[in-house]
Amino acid sequence: MSGFARGKLILAGEHAVVYGHPAIAMGVDRGTRVSLSHCEGPTHLPGGADPRLAAALRLALPPHGVRVDVHSDLPVGRGMGSSAALAVALLRARDGDVPPDALFDAALALETVFHGNASGLDVHIAIHGGAVRYRRGPPREAVALPAPGWSVVVIDTGDAGDTRRMVRDVAARRPSVDGLLADIGALALAVEDALHSPAQLGPLWTRHHALLRRLGVSTPRLDAATDAAHHAGALGAKLSGAGGGGVVIAVPEGPPDALVERLRAVGHDAFVARAAT
C-alpha cells in the first residue's frame, strides 16, 4: 500500500497564520511517497528520519509487523512541508481513500506531536495541493486560488530549521510582536492580490522578508540568499517557512531557469518549483 502527498511553499503569512492571520501557500511539484509492507518483528521506520518525527509517526502504526519505505524529493527541515507530506502520505498508505476532513484531523494530530502548535497550513497543502488563502480559525477557512502561472525559484541554504523551536521563540516574544504578526497577515492579502503579477509581487516579498527578519526568524544565510537573489536579478525574495534555516523563494524577472543558472554560478543551491495540485 502506498500514499503520496505534496510539499509546499508559503508565499506569505508564515508565523502570523499560527495566530489566526491569513497566509498564502501553494503545493509544489515535489512530494513524498510512503509505502507500507508486512515485515517480521518490530515496525521499521527508515533511518535518517528526525527522531521526534519518527516518534510521532509511530503513533499511527502498530508496534510490530510494518515496514515503512519513504521516497521524497523534498529537502527535509527546509520549510517545504516535508513533515506534513510524510504524515499525510503515511496516513494515505495506511487508510486508503479517506475523506479530506478526517485525513486533515489525523495528520494535524501527528504534526502537532512533532511541531507543537501547528496552524494546519502545511497539512492542508499536503492533502489538497494547489494555491490557497488559509486561516486557522476556528472556523478554519481555506479558499482555493488560481495557481500562479509563473514559477518560483527556490534557494536552499542547506541549513535545517526547527519549526517547533521557531514557533516557540515567536510565542515567547508575544505580545510585543503582535503588531508585526498583524502586518505580516495584512501583507499576505496584498500578496494574494499580486499573485499573478511578478512585477507587483517582487517588492512585496522583499518587504515580507524584512518583517520576518524583524520577527527574529531569519538567519545570516537566509539574508545572504535573499541578497544573492536580488543581485542575480530577482524581482524580490523572502524566506519561506518557519525560518531558522531552510529556503528562500524568489520571483524571477524572466525565465526561472536563467535565474537558477545565475544563482548556481555564485555557489547557491537553487531550483525551480512549479505550482501543483
| d(C-alpha 163, C-alpha 248), whole Å | 15
Q: Which stretch binds ligand MEV (CB under 6 A): 7-15, 124-132, 202-210, 223-231?
A: 7-15
Judged by CB under 6 A, the residue of 118, 131, 249, 270 near ligand MEV is 118
The position carrying cell 545572504 is 224
How many residues belong to the site for ligand MEV (CB under 6 A)? Answer: 14
83 binds ligand MEV (CB under 6 A): no
Q: Does 241 bind ligand MEV (CB under 6 A)?
A: yes
Work out whether 15 is an interface residue with ligand MEV (CB under 6 A).
Answer: yes
Binding status of residue 18 toward ligand MEV by CB under 6 A? yes
The reply on whether position 121 binds ligand MEV by CB under 6 A is: yes
User: Which residue among 88, 93, 122, 177 contacts ligand MEV (CB under 6 A)?
Assistant: 122
Q: Which of residues 149-208 bind ligand MEV (CB under 6 A)?
A: 163, 167
Using Cβ positions, the residue closest to ligand MEV within the complex turns out to be 119
Range list of H helices, the chain: 51-58, 82-95, 100-115, 121-128, 163-172, 178-194, 198-215, 220-231, 256-265
- Please choose, out of 15-23, 62-70, 150-158, 179-187, the segment that lies near ligand MEV by the rule CB under 6 A: 15-23
Q: Is the peptide bond before 139 cis (omega within 30 degrees of 0)?
A: yes
- Binding of ligand MEV at residue 14 (CB under 6 A)? yes
Between the CA of residue 190 and those of 32, 73, 194, 211, 226, what are the distances in Å? Answer: 31, 31, 6, 14, 20
Q: How big is the chain, counted in residues?
A: 277
Interface residue with ligand MEV, options 9, 12, 17, 93 (CB under 6 A): 17
226 binds ligand MEV (CB under 6 A): no
Cell (9 digits) for 25: 501557500
Q: Could you tell me which stretch among 8-16, 139-147, 152-160, 192-200 binds ligand MEV (CB under 6 A)?
A: 8-16
Q: Give Cα separations from 177 to 19, 31, 120, 165, 269 (angstroms).
A: 11, 33, 21, 16, 32
- Give the integer Cα–Cα distance in Å for 52 and 111: 10
Question: What count of Cα atoms within 13 Å lies in the side-chain half-sphere of residue 34?
Answer: 28
Least distance from ligand MEV to the Cβ atom of residue 37, Å: 30
Among the candidate windows 11-19, 68-76, 98-106, 256-264, which touches ligand MEV by CB under 6 A? 11-19
Q: Is 75 in the site for ligand MEV (CB under 6 A)?
A: no
